[in-house]
Amino acid sequence: MVKQKKSLWFIYLFLTILCFFCYRFSGMTNFDAVTHAFTTIAIGGFSNYDNSFAYFSNNFIYLFASVFMFLSAISFSLHFVAFNKIDITGYFKDKELRFYTTIIFVSFILIFIVLQSTNANGNFDTLILSVFQTISFATTTGFVSTDQSSLPLFIPYLLIALAGMGACAGSTGGGLKAIRVYILFRQAKNELKKLIHPSSVIPLKIGDNVIDKEISDSVWGFVSVYLFALFFGILLILATGINIETAFSTIFSCLNNLGPALGDATENYASLNDASKIILSFTMILGRLEIYTLLVLFTTFFWRS
């Protein structure tokens, strides 16, 4: 166990240092490279510039950031196996990662097509923008390379929705986690099969592994609590006088630990009232602790001897 912890720390440190040198090589100052390397690998999304990565306007920086955001969104157990056994085949065999990569790729294609149809930038710039924005939101990092309000309305909402899925389990990202979404997808697929063959018994499987009913029930339970927290949070924000677009996007963003939002919070949250900021602060903690850990403190049976 101690050896595993040391290995994970080494992997995390190695990725951070490598990210720093890539940023430095691409044109960042030492301070900027250190700051953004820390917040990239941690999927924190913090930048020391108000306009985030848009400040740099550098495609090489965007590409390196995309690579390291994606690596940080992968389960560190896969990194552990790859580093210790010098074997990367685990990445290609992992069902969650394959599902996650597919969702990101399809979203990237959609965003690229929509952006290309507007002819706002050159082909290469549009390609880089599509890659960076898709990965940044899908990993819940939250870096931005352009003003969200300048994009076709379809894109910001798709990006926000991607953050709902979030990163892979065992990564530094937020959101529901790709494995939960994948289990729900597989279960929905099984239910459709049962409509055609009512008498059939179709096990819920991920690869060759059968998923126990207890696990699928726990996933449904988590998603139910997640949706309740989202709905209740939106109502609370609306009660403070915030409009519906801002209320939905800020709560959704904070619950998934994303950052960027829409409406009055497109640039930042400074214009929001104090009451809404208190609610959003609690929502961020709720999302970071994956809901159950915090909500259990408010139950009576937790405090019973």
* Digit-coded pLDDT (tens) for 20-40: 999 999 999 999 999 999 999
pTM beyond 0.85: yes
Q: Contact 98/108 with Cβ under 8 angstroms? A: no
pLDDT, position 266:
86
**Which residue in 209, 185, 5, 213 sits closest to 94, CA to CA?**
209
92-135 per-position pLDDT tens digit: 999 999 999 999 999 999 999 998 888 656 688 889 999 999 99
Q: Contact 89/13 with Cβ under 8 angstroms? A: no
Q: Contact 40/53 with Cβ under 8 angstroms? A: no
Q: Is the pLDDT of residue 305 over 60?
A: no
Of 49-53, 72-76, 213-217, 231-235, minimum mean pLDDT range: 213-217
Give the position of tokens 């997640």. 226
Residue 3, number of CB atoms within 10 A of its CB: 8
- Domain coordinates of the chain in residue numbers? 2-165, 227-305
